[in-house]
């Protein structure tokens, strides 16, 4: 077996093309690329406007089974499939999310794919990239500062200081900031109150940036953010503080999609990165919509497994942006299926066909779910060197028994050469015209009924439950005109249920909605089922200890 290189070594060895050359492949003139270094660029607003009349290419969603510690390789497959489609003669663009900087110093690996299916420059992408997340942090915290400043100077808007709904954000894993008291120190510093920080990707500004159609829409949505409530429970908006306009100024570059390239020099848009629990977990509408105007195929991914990620992609992003996916790829690995079949992580190296078969129940559920949206699906088995023939065949047989196809992919080790078969299958599905996309529920359904529909039809639970206070809150929002919004489920990504240890394909569980939040700017109601962490902490041995510049000035320790 050949020497196995680390992701960062492969990325560093990439033969990158000038970003202008990459842009030219999909017809972007170099004057419309705002360069950030020689290998990253933002696409100009005027160019995006100029292509609006063009026909759309075909949109392919890459989703996955429920994630496990074994890893599934959803981003890797997204990138690999993009390269594979280009290899078989289709003009294809990959659309993925940007990585959050903070978690890299904790324990998370990078978010640029892996092996020979990566987007580069991976080190920049895992650090400051083109500054989008910093801009979101600034815009978010400007609003936070304006709120406390407004209270400080007399609180003309009669904000109930116990009901400030807007926290602060930082792109760092810092548990000490989760719950704090601000404005201590006497009259010069203001009015002490409880507050806290979330990580930047959890900001509603991030969700807004990713759902906005253009800068004007962005400004409008920023104005719609509810920052607090008055004593009479009436909402106070960001617009009331005149905050939406300077926030849009801070975001004017961040909203433009970022163009980079795969290891095989194919174009990739990497733009936006909202949380996949309290937000919808997809890259930006601006990037996806623009890519569809420029390519035959756009391959994109959604966060977590298909129960959360694909559902939100369909019910929030596609619904709101008018996108019509042509096909979906559900990524699975033998190892992850084995974990879903009850195998412990330390035993994954041993062949266990029975466990694979058992774990396939999870995969089968996701196949059924994706098809509920009218989107044809194929399974991509992301190959790992320890997979045995018998295990792989078990997956193929299971999927065949459902009337669908599972295709083994070796893009991690071989790049596009290892994923040709899947690429051909995706083209066949997409060009068959089989897709009849429709969201799961209509806008008109009541908010709680929307949640209940997802619980029953996607999670296969018995019902959604909630205290009267939660149901009353939903009714109040309906009365205030927010009833037409889709719901955004915040639930563990590890199970169809709310118990992260309940792998496979459970049924009959009830799903308690603990809390609901209104993201009026982003345009969805968040239903929180279980504990959701919006500010991660660092482990006892943070990965920061191994991140450094080597003697050549190259970064080591980012993976």
Q: Are 290 and 321 in contact (CB under 8 A)?
A: no
Contact call for residue 511 and a copy of itself (CB under 8 A): no
Residue holding tokens 């890797």?
76
Nearer to a copy of itself, 180 or 502 (CB): 180
Minimal distance, residue 247 CB to a copy of itself, in Å: 9
Nearer to a copy of itself, 376 or 521 (CB): 521
Flag whether 288 is marked binding.
Answer: no
Q: Which of 62, 81, 146, 408 binds a copy of itself (CB under 8 A)?
A: 146
The Cα–Cα gap between 289 and 525 comes to 24
Pairing of strands 117-120, 193-195: unpaired
Radius of gyration of the chain (CA): 23
Nearer to a copy of itself, 170 or 356 (CB): 170
Of 40, 47, 64, 76, the active-site residue reads: 76
Is 54 an active-site residue?
A: no
Contact call for residue 127 and a copy of itself (CB under 8 A): yes
Contact call for residue 101 and a copy of itself (CB under 8 A): yes
Nearer to a copy of itself, 472 or 531 (CB): 531
Contact call for residue 125 and a copy of itself (CB under 8 A): no
The Cα–Cα gap between 544 and 318 comes to 37
Query: What is the pattern of x (binds a copy of itself, CB under 8 A) and - over residues 60-99?
Result: ----------------------------------------
Cis bond leading into 121, ω under 30°?
A: yes
Flag whether 69 is marked binding.
Answer: yes
Flag whether 75 is marked binding.
Answer: yes
Contact call for residue 35 and a copy of itself (CB under 8 A): yes
The Cα–Cα gap between 374 and 438 comes to 6
Flag whether 71 is marked binding.
Answer: yes
Pairing of strands 377-382, 58-64: unpaired
Minimal distance, residue 515 CB to a copy of itself, in Å: 16
Q: Are 191 and 153 in contact (CB under 8 A)?
A: no
Nearer to a copy of itself, 107 or 392 (CB): 107
Core vs surface per residue 265-291: b (16+ CB within 10 A) or e: bbbbbbbbbbbbbbbbbbbbbbbbbbb
Which part of the chain contacts a copy of itself (CB under 8 A), choosing from 83-91, 225-233, 521-529, 544-552?
Answer: 544-552
Q: Are 255 and 212 in contact (CB under 8 A)?
A: yes
The CB density around residue 149, as the number of other CB atoms within 10 Å, is: 11
Flag whether 423 is marked binding.
Answer: no
| Terminal CA-CA length for the chain | 22
Minimal distance, residue 493 CB to a copy of itself, in Å: 20
- Nearest alpha carbon to residue 456 among 369, 330, 530, 528: 369
Of 269, 275, 304, 477, the active-site residue reads: 304
Q: Name residue 331's beta-bridge partners.
A: 64, 380
Q: Name residue 180's beta-bridge partners.
A: 195
Q: Which of 5, 54, 162, 252 binds a copy of itself (CB under 8 A)?
A: 252
Q: What's the number of CA atoms in the CB half-sphere (13 Å) around residue 498?
A: 21
Q: Are 345 and 69 in contact (CB under 8 A)?
A: yes
Core vs surface per residue 23-34: b (16+ CB within 10 A) or e: bebbebeeebbb
Structure tokens at 207: 């969700």
Flag whether 453 is marked binding.
Answer: no
Minimal distance, residue 248 CB to a copy of itself, in Å: 6
- Nearest alpha carbon to residue 363 among 390, 412, 312, 401: 401
Q: Which of 85, 142, 201, 287 binds a copy of itself (CB under 8 A)?
A: 142
- The alpha-helical segments, DSSP class H, found in 225-317 are 244-250, 285-294, 311-312
Instruction: Collapse the DSSP code of 555 into the 3-class scheme (helix H, G, I; strand E, B; otherwise coil) and give the result.
Output: strand
Residues in 171-210 that interact with a copy of itself by CB under 8 A: 171-185, 188-190, 194-195
Is 304 an active-site residue?
A: yes
Minimal distance, residue 273 CB to a copy of itself, in Å: 16
Of 275, 412, 477, 496, the active-site residue reads: 412
Of 97, 319, 365, 503, the active-site residue reads: 97
Burial of 236 from C-beta contacts in 10 A (0-12 / 13-18 / 19+) = buried
Q: Are 150 and 241 in contact (CB under 8 A)?
A: yes
The Cα–Cα gap between 126 and 115 comes to 16
Is 276 an active-site residue?
A: yes
Task: Using CB under 8 A, count the residues that bind a copy of itself.
Answer: 70
Is 207 an active-site residue?
A: no
Q: Which of 65, 85, 243, 516 binds a copy of itself (CB under 8 A)?
A: 243
Q: Are 73 and 7 in contact (CB under 8 A)?
A: no
Contact call for residue 49 and a copy of itself (CB under 8 A): no
Is 74 an active-site residue?
A: yes
Minimal distance, residue 205 CB to a copy of itself, in Å: 14
Minimal distance, residue 322 CB to a copy of itself, in Å: 24
Contact call for residue 249 and a copy of itself (CB under 8 A): yes
Minimal distance, residue 518 CB to a copy of itself, in Å: 23
Flag whether 491 is marked binding.
Answer: no
Contact call for residue 134 and a copy of itself (CB under 8 A): yes
Contact call for residue 105 and a copy of itself (CB under 8 A): yes
Which part of the chain contacts a copy of itself (CB under 8 A), choosing from 248-256, 272-280, 382-390, 521-529?
Answer: 248-256
The Cα–Cα gap between 30 and 290 comes to 16
Of 133, 314, 373, 384, the active-site residue reads: 384
Core vs surface per residue 394-409: b (16+ CB within 10 A) or e: bbbebbeebebbbbbb
Query: What is the pattern of x (binds a copy of itself, CB under 8 A) and - over residues 512-541?
Result: -------------------------xx-x-
Flag whether 274 is marked binding.
Answer: no
Binding site for a copy of itself (CB under 8 A): 34-38, 45, 101, 105, 127-128, 131, 134-135, 137-138, 141-142, 144-146, 148-149, 152-154, 168, 170-185, 188-190, 194-195, 215, 219, 242-243, 245-246, 248-250, 252-253, 537-538, 540, 542, 544-545, 547-549, 553, 555, 557
Sequence ranges of the binding site: 68-75
Residues contributing to the annotated binding site for ATP: 68-75
| Residues identified as active-site | 74, 76, 97, 108, 276, 304, 384, 412
């Amino acid at each position: 077996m050949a020497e196995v290189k680390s992701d960062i070594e492969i990325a560093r060895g990439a033969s990158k093309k000038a970003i202008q050359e990459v842009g030219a492949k999909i017809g972007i003139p170099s004057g419309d690329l705002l360069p950030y270094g020689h290998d990253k660029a933002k696409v100009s607003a005027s160019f995006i406007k100029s292509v609006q009349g063009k026909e759309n290419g075909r949109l392919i969603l890459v989703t996955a089974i429920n994630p496990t510690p074994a890893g599934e390789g959803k981003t890797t497959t997204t990138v690999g499939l993009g390269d594979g489609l280009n290899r078989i003669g289709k003009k294809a663009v990959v659309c993925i999310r940007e990585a959050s900087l903070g978690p890299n110093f904790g324990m998370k690996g990078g978010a640029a794919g892996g092996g020979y299916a990566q987007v580069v420059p991976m080190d920049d992408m895992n650090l400051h990239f083109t500054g989008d997340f910093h801009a979101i942090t600034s815009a978010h915290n400007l609003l936070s500062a304006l709120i406390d400043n407004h209270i400080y100077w007399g609180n003309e808007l009669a904000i109930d200081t116990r009901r400030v709904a807007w926290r602060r954000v930082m792109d760092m894993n810092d548990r000490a900031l989760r719950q704090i008291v601000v404005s201590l120190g006497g009259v010069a510093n203001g009015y002490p109150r409880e507050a806290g920080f979330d990580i930047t990707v959890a900001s509603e500004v991030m969700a807004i940036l990713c759902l906005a159609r253009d800068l004007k829409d962005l400004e409008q949505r920023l104005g719609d953010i509810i920052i607090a409530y008055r004593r009479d429970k009436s909402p106070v908006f960001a617009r009331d503080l005149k905050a939406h306009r300077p926030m849009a100024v801070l975001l004017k570059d961040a909203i433009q999609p970022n163009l980079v390239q795969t290891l095989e020099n194919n174009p990739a848009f990497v733009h936006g990165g909202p949380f996949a629990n309290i937000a919808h977990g997809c890259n930006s509408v601006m990037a996806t919509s623009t890519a569809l105007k420029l390519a035959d195929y756009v391959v994109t991914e959604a966060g977590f497994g298909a129960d959360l990620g694909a559902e939100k992609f369909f019910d929030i992003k596609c619904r709101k942006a008018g996108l019509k996916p042509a096909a979906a790829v559900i990524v699975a690995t033998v190892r992850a299926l084995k974990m879903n079949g009850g195998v412990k992580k330390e035993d994954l190296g041993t062949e266990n066909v029975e466990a694979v078969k058992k774990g396939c129940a999870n995969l089968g559920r996701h196949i059924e779910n994706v098809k509920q949206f009218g989107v044809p699906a194929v399974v991509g088995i992301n190959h790992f060197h320890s997979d045995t023939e018998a295990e792989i065949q078990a997956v193929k047989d299971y999927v065949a028994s459902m009337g669908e196809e599972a295709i083994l992919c070796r893009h991690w080790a071989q790049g596009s050469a290892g994923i040709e078969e899947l690429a051909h299958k995706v083209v066949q599905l997409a060009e068959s015209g089989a897709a009849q996309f429709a969201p799961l529920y209509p806008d008109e359904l009541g908010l709680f009924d929307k949640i209940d529909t997802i619980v029953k039809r996607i999670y296969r639970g018995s019902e959604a439950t909630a205290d009267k206070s939660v149901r009353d809150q939903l009714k109040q929002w309906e009365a205030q005109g927010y009833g037409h919004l889709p719901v955004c489920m915040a639930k563990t990504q590890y199970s169809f249920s709310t118990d992260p240890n309940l792998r496979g394909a459970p049924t009959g569980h009830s799903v308690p909605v603990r809390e609901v939040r209104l993201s009026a700017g982003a345009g969805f109601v968040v239903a929180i089922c279980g504990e959701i962490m919006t500010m991660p902490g660092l482990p006892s041995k943070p990965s920061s200890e191994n991140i450094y510049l080597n003697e050549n000035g190259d970064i080591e320790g980012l993976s």
